[in-house]
Structure 1
């Protein structure tokens, strides 16, 4: 049977709580036993002091000795003390022969062995031991030597004290602990179940919120608790994942929309041309003309698909920049030279301005050349004959500033914010987009390349006077600006 996380946490908590309770109980029991043993030894030491103060072993002649008790029988305290001491005691000579034994000792306790008696007498030290009487009652025994009154003979003297009350107290405490442990387990399980439920409540809320998030509402986010704990970190990570999914879904939707929109017209045109050819063509030349026209449109379809795939791969991080240390002045000057022939063919004057001798940084040369190519291609297409295009590069310390300025027809203010959108083309004079001018993807590539280099691009335009693109790229590989800051546009009022 599969156990839930709440049950698992509760079981772990209960197990730890039970172990701690058992350890504490054992510790207290050991402490109780130690205290009772210390108290019993103190009592026996006190009784031993009383015995030595009240008892004398006197010589009676013929090598006979007898213990004699000296105390004031009228003194209730002394009488009580002597009775307590005489209750359990044993006296033997140096050969192990009993001299005097109390009734309790005689009836219940075994006589010490001669070997142990000789050992105690030889050591001149007190001996402590635990014994049990015939009924199983524990006794604490203290044994030592006592010298006769004439200081000629050593005698073995042992006194004892019953530990029945102490043993009973320890047993009761043990039973109490054994009874408390199951109760503690139940209490620990209940408490752990409650606290585990409270601790996992935010996790359940996260799960419920995640269940509400689908492909149609990826904009939803799980609210954080603001406590700054691990759950807030989990929520933040989850929200970041949802944000990435939202971006990916939007890119997929945008790609699908772009493809369906851009491919619909060329496919319709190709189909129409072929249908007309089938119905009206009379000879091989008519069919050939229809096929050539269709192939031209199909090539345009291929260009659209290739450009879309490349742009989608770039925006999803599948295109990795191959950065190397480059001199932008040298790279751009060489690349601008390659556009002199197309510019001359369009009767447009193209000039490169070197405003700094050197401008070195870490860049992807292929992507930078693609960026400049797209900007120059647009500038040449939309600049009338006799116009002028200027490309300049300047080293501003930690930033490279690239400016592409033309004297073309310019971009109306209402269209300027959309020029970096995919497939967006500024309408011509009749208000219609001009497909022959391009796919509408060039500036989208430019914006991605700039963002990939952690830079920014700004477009300024004035209808009838031209457009200026200003690109700033960090030379030290700084952090990328936000999407809003990376691409900006400004309309210039004439």
Structure 2
């Protein structure tokens, strides 16, 4: 009965947060489109403006379009998270395995910084001139790395770096993402991989997204489906290190 009540409570909280997280970008997108429309509604009037004012209006429209694109990316990410969660619940996840170099996958995710500020310092350490081959669903592994980095950015001060480590560990590739943020209490750490679970009392320092309580659950599922493991080391006030392992690819 207690477990059922807790599950229902988590579901209600999830629905409330999800509604807010969907409504926010939709409201922003609608407002931006309406504003662009008002600025450019009368083509004759716009084209008759002095050159500098015309350039200013076009620059403003471009800025609004860029912001709209960011909100669409955010909305798409939320939808993908819900779809992946549904696939996990229904046990309908299909993995499209490809041989790749984890070094390159990691670098591609870090260079594509749509999920976090370009001003954030990310320090990467991986073996020089040594490719780490794996056989994985590349898009799913990129989602895991992106979520680890997004969380590190969200919950740590902007003036602190994020440290990313890649190394070989016996027959596995090991990846960790370390932040220097608030940390996670020990009694919460065993629950953070659960569906809908959100750590209480942890303040978002960067960005406005609260989180749906699904990201780490999805990450764990993806990694375990690849025969790997996930984990976290954390201490309040000293940051957190999230890690995962994946089997190395061997042609033998």
User: Same fold by TM (over 0.5)?
Assistant: yes
Match of 2:180 in 1: 407
Alignment map for 1:2-21 (pairs within 5 Å): none
Match of 1:417 in 2: 190
2:14 paired residue among 216, 239, 262: 262
CA 1:316/1:451 → structure 2, altered by over 3 Å: closer, same or farther? farther
Match of 2:65 in 1: none
TM-score, normalised to structure 1, is: 0.34
Q: Does 1:350 align with 2:122?
A: yes
CA distance in 1, matches of 2:75, 2:117: 27
Q: Does 1:368 align with 2:137?
A: no
Match of 1:220 in 2: none
Match of 1:475 in 2: 248
Q: Give RMSD over aligned pairs.
A: 3.4
Greater RCO structure (CA 8 Å; 6+ sep):
2
User: What is the Cα deviation at residue 336 of structure 1?
Assistant: 1.2
2:98 paired residue among 315, 324, 339: 324
CA distance in 1, matches of 2:155, 2:107: 22
CA 1:325/1:302 → structure 2, altered by over 3 Å: closer, same or farther? closer
Could you report, residue by residue, the CA deviation over 1:115-172 in whole angstroms, capped at 9, with x for unpaired residues?
xxxxxxxxxxxxxxxxxxxxxxxxxxxxxxxxxxxxxxxxxxxxxxxxxxxxxxxxxx
DSSP-derived class of the 2:187 partner: coil
User: What is the Cα deviation at residue 327 of structure 1?
Assistant: 0.4
Contact preservation (8 Å) 1:266, 1:301: no
Could you report, residue by residue, the CA deviation over 1:176-220 in whole angstroms, capped at 9, with x for unpaired residues?
xxxxxxxxxxxxxxxxxxxxxxxxxxxxxxxxxxxxxxxxxxxxx
User: What is the Cα deviation at residue 405 of structure 1?
Assistant: 1.0
Contact preservation (8 Å) 1:459, 1:468: yes
CA distance in 1, matches of 2:215, 2:116: 17
Match of 2:199 in 1: 426
Alignment map for 1:457-468 (pairs within 5 Å): 457-468=230-241
Match of 1:314 in 2: 88
Alignment map for 1:6-405 (pairs within 5 Å): 259-264=11-16, 307-339=81-113, 342-345=116-119, 348-355=120-127, 357-405=130-178
CA distance in 1, matches of 2:95, 2:18: 33
CA distance in 2, matches of 1:313, 1:266: 18
CA distance in 1, matches of 2:233, 2:240: 6
CA 1:267/1:443 → structure 2, altered by over 3 Å: closer, same or farther? closer
TM-score, normalised to structure 2, is: 0.64
CA distance in 1, matches of 2:77, 2:131: 37
CA 1:331/1:393 → structure 2, altered by over 3 Å: closer, same or farther? same
CA distance in 2, matches of 1:265, 1:255: 15
Could you report, residue by residue, the CA deviation over 1:441-477 in whole angstroms, capped at 9, with x for unpaired residues?
1111111111111001111101111101121111248
CA distance in 2, matches of 1:456, 1:389: 21
CA distance in 2, matches of 1:439, 1:389: 23
Contact preservation (8 Å) 1:455, 1:473: yes
Could you report, residue by residue, the CA deviation over 1:316-357 in whole angstroms, capped at 9, with x for unpaired residues?
331211001100011111211223993444xx3211111252
Match of 1:444 in 2: 217
Total equivalences in the alignment: 190
Contact preservation (8 Å) 2:17, 2:212: no
CA 1:303/1:370 → structure 2, altered by over 3 Å: closer, same or farther? closer
Larger radius of gyration: 1
Contact preservation (8 Å) 2:182, 2:239: yes
Contact preservation (8 Å) 2:85, 2:218: yes
Task: Could you tell me which runs of 5 or more consecutive residues in structure 2 were left unpaired when the two chains were aligned.
Answer: 23-73
Task: Could you tell me which runs of 5 or more consecutive residues in structure 1 were left unpaired when the two chains were aligned.
Answer: 1-252, 271-299, 478-494
CA 1:386/1:475 → structure 2, altered by over 3 Å: closer, same or farther? same
